[in-house]
Amino acid sequence: MKQSYMPLFEKVSLKSGVQLKNRIIMAPMTNFSSNEDGTVSEAELAYYGRRSGGVSLVVTACVYVSPNGKGFQGEFASDHDGMVPSLSKLAATIKEKGSKAVLQIFHGGRECPPGLVPNGDVVSASAVASEQSAGVVPRALSESEIERIIADFGEATRRAIEAGFDGVEIHGANGYLIQQFFSAHSNTRSDRWGGSMENRLRFPLAVVDEVKRVIRTHAKQPFLVGYRFSPEEATTPGITMEDTFALLDELARKELDYLHVSLMDFWSLPKRGAEETKTRMEWIQERVGHLVPVIGVGSIHTPDEAVKALETGIPLVAIGRELIIEPDWVEKVAQGRENDIKTTLNKDDQERLVVPDPLWQAIVHTPGWFPLGD
Those residues with Cβ within 8 angstroms of residue 361's Cβ, 6 or more apart along the chain or in another chain: none
Catalytic residue among 47, 48, 64, 176: 176
Is 227 one of the annotated active-site residues of the chain?
no
- Rounded to an integer, what distance in angstroms lies between the CA atom of residue 262 and that of residue 268? 11
Helical pair 241-251 and 280-288, crossing angle rounded to 10 deg: 30
Those residues with Cβ within 8 angstroms of residue 222's Cβ, 6 or more apart along the chain or in another chain: 14, 16, 17, 18, 166
Helix boundaries (H) for 183-334:
197-200, 202-218, 241-251, 280-288, 303-310, 321-325, 329-334
Those residues with Cβ within 8 angstroms of residue 322's Cβ, 6 or more apart along the chain or in another chain: 300, 301, 329
Q: Where are the beta strands (DSSP E) in 77-146?
A: 100-106, 123-124, 139-140
Coil, helix or strand at residue 147 = helix
- Rounded to an integer, what distance in angstroms lies between the CA atom of residue 107 and that of residue 178? 7
Those residues with Cβ within 8 angstroms of residue 263's Cβ, 6 or more apart along the chain or in another chain: 230, 231, 280, 281, 296, 297, 298
- Rounded to an integer, what distance in angstroms lies between the CA atom of residue 61 and that of residue 123? 22
- Rounded to an integer, what distance in angstroms lies between the CA atom of residue 36 and that of residue 38? 6
Helix boundaries (H) for 20-136:
42-51, 84-96
59 φψ region: left (φ > 0), alpha (ψ -120 to 50), beta (else): beta
Helical pair 84-96 and 143-163, crossing angle rounded to 10 deg: 50
CA distances from 31 to 28, 105, 122 (A): 9, 15, 22
Those residues with Cβ within 8 angstroms of residue 340's Cβ, 6 or more apart along the chain or in another chain: 332
- Rounded to an integer, what distance in angstroms lies between the CA atom of residue 174 and that of residue 239? 11
Active-site residues: which are they? 176
